[in-house]
């Protein structure tokens, strides 16, 4: 997929869940001979929980999400919660003795779940594995599904961070995006969210159909009025297998979206937000710990329909993916194994996989972390590192490796250098 966008500026990918990383190659059939990675310590472990339903499918969205028929109560909540717990239990042998540092309910629309369901899931997790007392526990919510009592119940269940999919405050753009909420509901949802959660994120998108630079900046201003600790600003991308891909709307040209991006970054910097990842901005101390763990190549269990996991063991790096269709996932979990594809990331691929995550971080990464988390020495990627430096894509010294502004703009070209087959 990376090759397809070579020599074009990087599109901002959504990183709320490992499912959303568009460049991750699909897990292949098992290649158990490939392994040559070695770990002396295991990285922090996160838990991702996928909720695969939405009230309606948005025309731009390629997440594993399915429209519910009828009212919100129509999701098979009891059966799904039981399947999630079974899936979690089946994963335990691969993570014995470890502790969970963060939890993320992503979707789809996790705010379709009742407070009781969230409570049951978190209680089941705590009963089966240590959960760090200060663990960040995030839940994604769609403003069209917000009820004050429910938010209160999520908080009581242990959720301590809320992420709201606002997208825009402009009624015309919300309509063009096929959202189930208008701007009034978006504002109300934020008020409800911040009355229950100190720590919250607002998702916005820019480069929307027929959007002007001023309109994109007006959305940022409207979001800033709520003083969110964290903001995500995604460049709208036309993903294959979406309605927008089949029937493309008129989008602003590349110059305007580059302008939007630049001005959004400048406004947010002026308001004290640290632009720490391609699309993520945070007030000091409010970076998303769960997503940072993905970007720093930590481990994660992924439970639920279509969820991906990455789990290190002393001598191998496992990657797994669950069955995608909710009904099939529930059947398989009940039968004892919801994992559809299990694979190993071998020494040949691990450098690329690491860089694909860590080079999204504007501040880069501690050079020692590479050997610790990738399980191969940094010399394994010496040639591509040298090539990247020569092309002005990265800066590096013995302590830190970081993308330059040029490397960030052409992230796909930078990552291409680390592909196993790349000639550098």
> Helix crossing, 326-335 with 77-91: angle to 10°?
50
Task: Give the nearer residue to ligand SF4 in terms of CB position, either 59 or 351.
Answer: 59
Q: Is 305 exposed, middle or buried (0-12, 13-18, 19+ CB in 10 A)?
A: buried
Contact partner at residue 57 from ligand SAM, ligand SF4, none, CB < 5 to 8 Å by partner kind: ligand SF4
Quick one: tokens of 368?
């020692």
Task: Give the nearer residue to ligand SAM in terms of CB position, either 54 or 415.
Answer: 54
59 binds ligand SF4 (CB under 6 A): no
Task: Give the nearer residue to ligand SF4 in terms of CB position, either 108 or 306.
Answer: 108
Contact partner at residue 403 from ligand SAM, ligand SF4, none, CB < 5 to 8 Å by partner kind: none
Number of chain residues interacting with ligand SF4 (CB under 6 A): 11
How near is the Cβ of 63 to ligand SAM at its closest, in Å? 5
Contact partner at residue 352 from ligand SF4, ligand SAM, none, CB < 5 to 8 Å by partner kind: none
307 binds ligand SF4 (CB under 6 A): no
Q: How does DSSP assign 32-68, residue by residue?
A: TT------SSPPPEEEEEEE-EESS--TT--SS-EEP
Task: Give the C-alpha separation, 40 to 43, whole Å.
Answer: 10
165 binds ligand SF4 (CB under 6 A): yes
Q: How would you label 174-208 residue by residue, b for 16+ Cβ within 10 Å and e otherwise?
A: bebbebebbbebbbebbebbbebbebbbbbbbbbb
DSSP code of residue 233: E
How near is the Cβ of 202 to ligand SF4 at its closest, in Å? 14
Q: Site map for ligand SF4, 60-79, x if CB under 6 A? A: -x-x-x--------------
Footprint on residues 86-145 left by ligand SF4 (CB under 6 A): 107-109, 142
Among 18, 43, 52, 107, binds ligand SAM (CB under 6 A): 107
DSSP code of residue 250: P
259 binds ligand SAM (CB under 6 A): no
The residue whose two tokens read 């040298």 is 386
Cα dihedral 184, 119, 89, 132 in deg (nearest 10): 90
Q: How does DSSP assign 114-154, residue by residue?
A: -HHHHHHHHHHHHHHS-EEEEEEEEEEE-GGG--HHHHHHH
Footprint on residues 167-226 left by ligand SAM (CB under 6 A): 167, 203, 205
Among 53, 60, 88, 151, binds ligand SAM (CB under 6 A): 60
Task: Give the nearer residue to ligand SAM in terms of CB position, either 83 or 186.
Answer: 186
Contact partner at residue 287 from ligand SF4, ligand SAM, none, CB < 5 to 8 Å by partner kind: none
């Amino acid at each position: 997929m990376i090759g397809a966008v070579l020599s074009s500026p990087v599109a901002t990918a959504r990183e709320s869940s490992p499912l959303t990383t568009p460049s991750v190659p699909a897990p292949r059939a098992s290649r158990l001979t490939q392994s040559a990675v070695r770990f002396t310590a295991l990285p922090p472990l996160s838990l991702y929980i996928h909720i695969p339903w939405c009230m309606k499918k948005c025309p731009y969205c390629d997440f594993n999400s399915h429209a519910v028929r009828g009212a919100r109560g129509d999701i098979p909540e009891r059966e799904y919660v039981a399947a999630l717990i079974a899936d979690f239990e089946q994963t335990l042998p691969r993570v014995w003795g470890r502790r969970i540092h963060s939890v993320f309910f992503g979707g789809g629309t996790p705010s379709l779940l009742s407070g009781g369901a969230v409570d049951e899931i978190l209680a089941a997790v705590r009963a089966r594995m240590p959960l760090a007392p200060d663990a960040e526990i995030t839940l994604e919510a769609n403003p069209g599904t917000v009820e004050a009592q429910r938010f209160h119940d999520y908080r009581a269940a242990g959720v301590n961070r809320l992420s709201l999919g606002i997208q825009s405050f402009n009624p015309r753009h919300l309509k063009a995006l096929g959202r189930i909420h208008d701007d009034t509901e978006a504002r109300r949802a934020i008020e409800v969210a911040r009355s229950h959660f100190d720590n919250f994120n607002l998702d916005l998108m820019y480069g929307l159909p027929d959007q002007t630079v001023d309109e994109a900046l007006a959305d940022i201003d409207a979001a800033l009025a709520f003083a969110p600790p964290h903001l995500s600003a995604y460049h709208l991308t036309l993903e294959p297998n979406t309605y927008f891909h089949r029937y493309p709307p008129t989008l602003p040209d590349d110059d305007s979206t580059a302008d939007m991006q630049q001005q959004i970054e400048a406004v947010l910097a002026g308001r004290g937000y640290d632009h720490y990842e391609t699309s993520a901005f945070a007030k000091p101390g409010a970076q998303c710990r769960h997503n940072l763990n993905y970007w720093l190549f930590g481990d994660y269990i992924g439970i639920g329909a279509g969820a991906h996991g990455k789990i290190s063991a002393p001598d191998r790096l496992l990657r797994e993916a669950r069955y995608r269709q909710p009904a099939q996932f529930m059947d398989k979990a009940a039968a004892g194994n919801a994992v559809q594809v299990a694979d190993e990331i071998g020494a040949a691929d691990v450098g690329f996989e690491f860089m694909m995550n860590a080079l999204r971080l504007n501040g880069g990464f501690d050079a020692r972390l590479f050997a610790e988390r990738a399980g191969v020495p940094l010399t394994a990627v010496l040639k591509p590192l040298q090539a990247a430096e020569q092309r002005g894509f990265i800066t590096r010294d013995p302590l830190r490796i970081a993308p330059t502004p040029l490397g960030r703009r052409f992230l796909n070209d930078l990552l291409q250098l680390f592909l196993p087959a790349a000639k550098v």
